Structure 1
Amino acid sequence: DLFRPIIGRVQELTGHSDEEVEENLVAYRVIADHGRAITFLVGDGVLPGNEGRNYVLRMILRRAARFGRKLGLDGCFLDEVAKVVIDNMGPHYPELEARKPFIITTISQEEERFVRTLDAGLARLDEALEALVVAGGDTLSGETTFRLYDTFGLPLEITRDVAEERQLKVDQEGYQAALDDQRKRARHAGTFETRDEETLKRYRTLLEKLQEEGLVADEGVSHDPHTSTEIETTIAVILRDGRSVKSAKEGDEIEVVMPATCFYVESGGQVSDAGFITARSNDKGRASAQAGKESGPAWEIQVESAQSPVAGLIVHTGVVTRGRLRVGAPAWAVVDFERRLDVARNHTATHLLHSELRYILGEHIQQAGALVGPGRLRFDFTHAALLTQDELAAVNRSVNDAILLNYPVETGEESYREAIANGVIALFGDKYGDRVRVIRVGWEDDPFSQELCGGTHVKETGAIGLFHIVSEEGIGAGVRRIEAVTGRAALELVERQMGVLERTAAYLGVTAEEVDRRALTLLEELQAARKQVQQLQQDQARRQFETLVDQAESVGGVSLVSARVSVASMEILREMSDWVRDRIGSGVVVLGAVVGERPAIVAAVTSDLVERGVDARRLIKPLARHVGGGGGGKAALAQAGGKDASQLDSALGRASVVLEEMLAEAQPGAASA
């Protein structure tokens, strides 16, 4: 029995006898089955989440944790289950051993997060089920089920298990409807708006019409972004506001379809190409187009992006910057080559980065997302811990070493099975056809990196120029993100930072190499000066304090010290009120000061007067209104701030009046701290 070692380890954790294991065999088998599944899923690069396979992992992990709770395991234990799975299955599946630390950490972190909310979630579920029974119902509403998931992380499956144990049901359709509504709201709130079905239908109809008229091949728009960055073609369709039009004029925002294009279409994390489409003479071709561009072409479109809303159709979105174009017009489509090269540098750099992260941090590293643009690259990867400065420096240095070695970047096409057998990395969860495009970096007999990829790349790593990591952060459970720059953007960053360094060195009167040491020295001197200033402020406050006690007046038999003082911070003002309150033994203290050009007031009441109903909060509010502000606190200590410092003395003068009114109203025990 493959489950026996797992069940044995769980039995050790629970301390159950064999008879107790038999009595709870369902729970033991659920933990064993789910524990093995989550170990393999995490080992394959799946991370807990709220969509697709990520949700499946989260759901079965939490279900196993809940069954562990039923066995009396109040803390985290699934990492121990994973260790047993790895020890027993590792010899047959070596990737489990290679990724053991990552698997254990990922499972532990997810279980810890769930355990923190599990008790609260189950308590709310109990309340909901009890209320359901009292009301005579037998089906928990989908809205309540979804709220338990959304607020406490209780998956539908756990709620259903608990309900079934009490012979109750769950409205699963209602739950799914609530979940779908939330996802729709999230999509609409997102940066990028998903095209609706009606729009997609319109694009599909357009493609079918173009194919029927022979304007586009049966397989769709001819698309080759890798061979050339410019192409002779024609304008097949012009769309304005989603509708087909015969022409467009300067200033119009339009979408254009051509029978063929060399523009890279946004996909796989890489942004689309930009460029221009301009008028072309039928008989003179490119030379005429180039000459026309210099003297002014009849029309021109500045292309901002190229998208493929449906398979086989590519639309170029942009603005007409000159003239009027018509459907059927000969055209010259030209990609912005410098921008394309910037994107290619960043894309090849992501492959180098991926390779070095796996080499330095471990084989558990897998790509979890990417964004490759002309100005920067963003690479998301599976890793449970914050990268240290030494690790970041090592990755940065290794990628630049690969750039300096000027490795060749080869592009080839081969069968998917052959590529995987040769160690090519495929993105987990992506779907590939029988033939795939492979990007290999390095020497043929010793590749530095090899991945399945359809994006644009440089021919040699030396073309990247320079790689520099600008940030590293966590973006989710077990997922880190690195942002970096290459090429021109990296050069601009270095120039800016070197400029800052050189100017700072000049200001400090040292060389660039001495800036950090000089900065540390200045920081130490600044800290020492601040301590000295703070001590002087304390001494000044002490001197003022000695004179304040003598200023006490009697209001209704209660000692009141109300005075304006000179202090630099609210902290010292509160401290002075404590000193005076402690010195007078029984009484009320109201101190005011101008701190940062704004009036500030503190009121303090001794404990015996608090018991008699004297309340610092009630005392300070009318004073605060007098200086154009508000305040609050506790009965024994309250503070306020305002806007009109010119009214501070007047406000402090009202303290005796307010106190007298309060004493007249106060009854023993009327206020509490």
Structure 2
Amino acid sequence: IADHARAITFLIGDGVLPGNEGRSYVLRMVLRRAARFGKLIGLEEPFLARVAQVVIDQMGHHYTDLPAKRDFIMQTITAEEERFQRTLSTGLNRLDELMADLRARGQTEIPGNDAFFLWDTFGFPLDLTRDIAEENKLTIDEAGFRAALAAQKAQSRATAQDVLAQDVSVYAELLGNLKEQGVVGEQGVKHLIYENVDEVDTTIVGLIVDGQMVSEAHQGDKVEIVLPETPFYVESGGQVSDTGEIYYFPDDLDEPVWTVQVSEMRRPIPGLIVHVGKVTQGSARLNDPARAGIDTVRRWDIMRNHTATHVLHAALRSILGEHVHQAGSLVAPERLRFDFTHTQPLSKAELHEIEELANDIVLANFDVNTRWTTYKRAVDEGAMALFGEKYGDEVRVVSFGEVSDWRDSTVSMELCGGTHVDATAEIGSFRVTSQGSVAAGVRRIEVVTGRVAESLIEERFDTLASLADLLNAQPEQLANAVTQLQEQNRTLQRELAQIKQQAARDESQALLDKTMQVEGVAVLAAHVQASDADTMRQMTDWFRDKLGSGVVVLGANINDKPLLIAAVTDDLIKRGLHAGNIVRDAAKIIGGGGGGRPNMAQAGGRDVNKLDEALESVQEWVSVNLK
């Protein structure tokens, strides 16, 4: 347990979270094995966080990041241990049943599909199932387990992008030809995204339609265009691709000869960039001159949001703690989505503080600086790298803020290959729109900035103005006006409830007066006004209690369907009366059926027009069946 706890502590301290893939799976396996070892020696409650605390106390003076992440490490361990405990007992019961069945049949091997089911449904790592199997003198069909796991992964991969399923040989052939001809260098297509170039005059050097190289693409074709250089950003690091146009516009003409609307960018193999789009005008031909231009308005929205992700990351670490690390992101023109390591939902106060700090960073108008350096030097200087990301020897560092003019806890320095604004003030407004959980120990925040944020603010001001008009109040008085309206509504609801109760009592008394005597037994069969079955059951109970001894059958039209509910007092059950039999026979008249207990039952039907006829049959039924 101590060895496992040490490994768990350092893994989480390094940013690994429990999961089902890669290093995350290793952590989950180690943690759950340790939890089960504890259970075997009588530790029923989560305990590993306390062991981790000892690890931090003993190792923290050598590994100084551990004490800073103490709370996060302990919360993550406890959350995973509790999650495992919730499924452990159910999974163990299933495994015990499986092993008992195998022994009864004289078999000694747990089938791979069953081991996979335990992993997939109850989170049992294969090692844990193996340990339990060995304790019971059984083995596991591990090849079968791996086959089931591979089949699941293959099914998941089947929904990946079409490009992943395509044969890349056509791209490799094209890139090889371009290099041989000297059209592109050894590094392949030149990417101009860091050179502040929005458009470039160039030449079409490759056309692909339906997976085949072609010499021309016609109007309506979906085409992949290769240029020797491009200003278009290719989706990477969470930032979406640029869109825009590629067209040929000779100087002596008033309109383009052909136009391609670029909707997506791809890098099918290293060194080759393709512009995916649709020919909307004319026919594009190989070796045609072309002008390639990005949608600059969209690019600016994306740049605002990408720099804003760095601002948000800095604010989160400042407010929540240095255990916060990026766990994924989406940078699109209309919003940004940021996933980060944190075990607890954010309170309203925390969200407000994060948003306020982020806007302070924006308003500080820090210059956004970019530079290239070695990976080692960048990390040594404190640059944050995305955990699990593969970096080359040379990396790009994006930073803003200085210790001298701001708090060092909000200085941002990250390894990033995306596009950014020149200064934080260019982000404009920064507004959090939502927060939630995406996985164990991972939270998600969504944010809008710039033009979208301004539109959101305008929309909310318009909503406030509309509400103010409706409530005849000034916007700053809306909270009080709504509070008063809620109180008035509660008062009216209480008064209405009292009126309904009085009306129900009056109606109930009137119905009670219609109780008939059938051979000395009180029988009340009545058509009532009710909105649902619960109300009818309450009414039935009330009438039964009032009668003391008797039979109550109520019918109502519920959403254009007839419903019958019957109750029989205990003394009459002994005399042959059965609520389930009463409604079963009465329901035949309304084209339905039902039943229930001797003292309470209900039935439904299709013909609401025969509900009164069904109720009239009750007296005769009692007369016939009474003993």
When normalised by structure 2's length, the TM-score is 0.93
Matched with 2:327 is: 368
SS of alignment partner, residue 96 of structure 2: helix
Matched with 1:18 is: none
- Give, in whole Å, the separation in 2 of the partners of 1:327 and 1:57: 53
Matched with 1:579 is: 542
Matched with 2:18 is: 48
Matched with 2:218 is: 249
- Give, in whole Å, the separation in 1 of the partners of 2:435 and 2:612: 53
How far is 1:548 from its partner?
2.2
Matched with 1:235 is: 204
User: Is the contact made by 1:272 and 1:306 (CA closer than 8 Å) also made in structure 2?
Assistant: yes
Cα deviation code 1:301-353 (max 9, x no counterpart):
11111011221121211111111111221111100000000000001001000
- Give, in whole Å, the separation in 1 of the partners of 2:179 and 2:560: 75
Cα deviation code 1:147-186 (max 9, x no counterpart):
1111221110111112223343212121111112122223
Q: Is 2:263 aligned against 1:304?
A: yes
Q: Is 2:375 aligned against 1:407?
A: no
User: Per the alignment, do residues 182 and 554 of structure 1 end up closer, same or farther by CA in structure 2, a change over 3 Å counting?
Assistant: farther
- Give, in whole Å, the separation in 2 of the partners of 1:633 and 1:501: 54
Cα deviation code 1:435-455 (max 9, x no counterpart):
110001124856721110000
- Give, in whole Å, the separation in 2 of the partners of 1:457 and 1:125: 53
Pick from 48, 62, 69: which aligns with 1:78? 48
Cα deviation code 1:54-78 (max 9, x no counterpart):
1111111001111111112122111
User: Is the contact made by 1:221 and 1:312 (CA closer than 8 Å) also made in structure 2?
Assistant: yes
User: Per the alignment, do residues 633 and 341 of structure 1 end up closer, same or farther by CA in structure 2, a change over 3 Å counting?
Assistant: farther
Matched with 2:472 is: 509
- Give, in whole Å, the separation in 2 of the partners of 1:634 and 1:243: 73
Pick from 369, 372, 390: which aligns with 2:349? 390
- Give, in whole Å, the separation in 2 of the partners of 1:520 and 1:67: 55
Pick from 227, 231, 237: which aligns with 1:258? 227
Q: Which runs of 5+ in 2 are unaligned?
A: none
User: Per the alignment, do residues 235 and 557 of structure 1 end up closer, same or farther by CA in structure 2, a change over 3 Å counting?
Assistant: farther
SS of alignment partner, residue 277 of structure 1: strand
How far is 1:218 from its partner?
2.5
The one-letter code of the counterpart of 1:249 is H
Matches within 5 A, 1:408-447: 408-443=367-402
Q: Is 2:77 aligned against 1:107?
A: yes
- Give, in whole Å, the separation in 1 of the partners of 2:492 and 2:605: 30
How far is 1:193 from its partner?
3.4
Matched with 2:315 is: 356
User: Per the alignment, do residues 412 and 643 of structure 1 end up closer, same or farther by CA in structure 2, a change over 3 Å counting?
Assistant: farther
How far is 1:204 from its partner?
3.3
Q: Is 2:207 aligned against 1:207?
A: no
How far is 1:636 from its partner?
3.6
Matches within 5 A, 1:639-658: 639=602, 646-656=609-619
The one-letter code of the counterpart of 2:71 is P
Pick from 545, 565, 571: which aligns with 2:508? 545
User: Per the alignment, do residues 169 and 572 of structure 1 end up closer, same or farther by CA in structure 2, a change over 3 Å counting?
Assistant: closer
How far is 1:530 from its partner?
1.1
User: Per the alignment, do residues 535 and 639 of structure 1 end up closer, same or farther by CA in structure 2, a change over 3 Å counting?
Assistant: farther
- Give, in whole Å, the separation in 2 of the partners of 1:625 and 1:495: 61
How far is 1:375 from its partner?
0.3
How far is 1:544 from its partner?
1.6
How far is 1:609 from its partner?
4.6
Pick from 146, 169, 174: which aligns with 2:116? 146
Pick from 261, 274, 280: which aligns with 2:243? 274
Matched with 1:489 is: 452
The one-letter code of the counterpart of 1:454 is G
User: Is the contact made by 1:541 and 1:567 (CA closer than 8 Å) also made in structure 2?
Assistant: no
User: Is the contact made by 2:170 and 2:213 (CA closer than 8 Å) also made in structure 1?
Assistant: no
How far is 1:552 from its partner?
2.5
The one-letter code of the counterpart of 1:406 is N
The one-letter code of the counterpart of 1:100 is R
- Give, in whole Å, the separation in 1 of the partners of 2:169 and 2:105: 47
SS of alignment partner, residue 199 of structure 1: coil
User: Per the alignment, do residues 624 and 197 of structure 1 end up closer, same or farther by CA in structure 2, a change over 3 Å counting?
Assistant: same
User: Per the alignment, do residues 152 and 518 of structure 1 end up closer, same or farther by CA in structure 2, a change over 3 Å counting?
Assistant: same
Matched with 1:28 is: none
- Give, in whole Å, the separation in 2 of the partners of 1:500 and 1:629: 50
How far is 1:646 from its partner?
4.4
Matched with 1:166 is: 136
User: How many residues are matched?
Assistant: 622
Cα deviation code 1:465-514 (max 9, x no counterpart):
10000001111111111001000110111111111110110111000111
How far is 1:601 from its partner?
4.0
How far is 1:605 from its partner?
3.0
SS of alignment partner, residue 314 of structure 1: strand
How far is 1:94 from its partner?
1.4
- Give, in whole Å, the separation in 1 of the partners of 2:574 and 2:193: 82
Q: Is 2:59 aligned against 1:89?
A: yes
User: Is the contact made by 2:170 and 2:212 (CA closer than 8 Å) also made in structure 1?
Assistant: no
Q: Is 2:91 aligned against 1:128?
A: no
Q: Is 2:189 aligned against 1:221?
A: yes
User: Per the alignment, do residues 532 and 230 of structure 1 end up closer, same or farther by CA in structure 2, a change over 3 Å counting?
Assistant: same
Matched with 1:180 is: 150
Q: Is 2:2 aligned against 1:39?
A: no
User: Per the alignment, do residues 66 and 533 of structure 1 end up closer, same or farther by CA in structure 2, a change over 3 Å counting?
Assistant: same
User: Per the alignment, do residues 122 and 567 of structure 1 end up closer, same or farther by CA in structure 2, a change over 3 Å counting?
Assistant: closer
User: Per the alignment, do residues 297 and 500 of structure 1 end up closer, same or farther by CA in structure 2, a change over 3 Å counting?
Assistant: same
User: Is the contact made by 2:249 and 2:255 (CA closer than 8 Å) also made in structure 1?
Assistant: no
User: Is the contact made by 1:217 and 1:259 (CA closer than 8 Å) also made in structure 2?
Assistant: no
- Give, in whole Å, the separation in 2 of the partners of 1:97 and 1:610: 71
When normalised by structure 1's length, the TM-score is 0.87
- Give, in whole Å, the separation in 2 of the partners of 1:332 and 1:628: 75
How far is 1:44 from its partner?
1.4
User: Per the alignment, do residues 550 and 310 of structure 1 end up closer, same or farther by CA in structure 2, a change over 3 Å counting?
Assistant: same
Q: Is 2:551 aligned against 1:588?
A: yes
Larger mean Cα displacement after TM superposition, 425-434 or 593-602 = 593-602
User: Per the alignment, do residues 655 and 239 of structure 1 end up closer, same or farther by CA in structure 2, a change over 3 Å counting?
Assistant: farther
- Give, in whole Å, the separation in 1 of the partners of 2:6 and 2:608: 69
- Give, in whole Å, the separation in 2 of the partners of 1:301 and 1:621: 71
User: Is the contact made by 1:473 and 1:480 (CA closer than 8 Å) also made in structure 2?
Assistant: yes
SS of alignment partner, residue 309 of structure 1: strand
Q: Which runs of 5+ in 1 are unaligned?
A: 1-30, 282-287, 667-673
Pick from 23, 31, 40: which aligns with 1:61? 31
- Give, in whole Å, the separation in 1 of the partners of 2:275 and 2:449: 27
Cα deviation code 1:195-250 (max 9, x no counterpart):
44553444334433443444443322111212112112222222222222222221
User: Is the contact made by 1:368 and 1:479 (CA closer than 8 Å) also made in structure 2?
Assistant: yes
Matches within 5 A, 1:485-634: 485-554=448-517, 558-567=521-530, 570-594=533-557, 600-609=563-572, 614-617=577-580, 619-620=582-583
User: Is the contact made by 1:537 and 1:567 (CA closer than 8 Å) also made in structure 2?
Assistant: no
Q: Is 2:281 aligned against 1:317?
A: no
User: Per the alignment, do residues 332 and 124 of structure 1 end up closer, same or farther by CA in structure 2, a change over 3 Å counting?
Assistant: same
Larger mean Cα displacement after TM superposition, 432-441 or 629-638 = 629-638
How far is 1:596 from its partner?
6.4
SS of alignment partner, residue 516 of structure 1: helix
- Give, in whole Å, the separation in 2 of the partners of 1:652 and 1:577: 14
The one-letter code of the counterpart of 2:375 is Y
Larger mean Cα displacement after TM superposition, 256-265 or 158-167 = 158-167
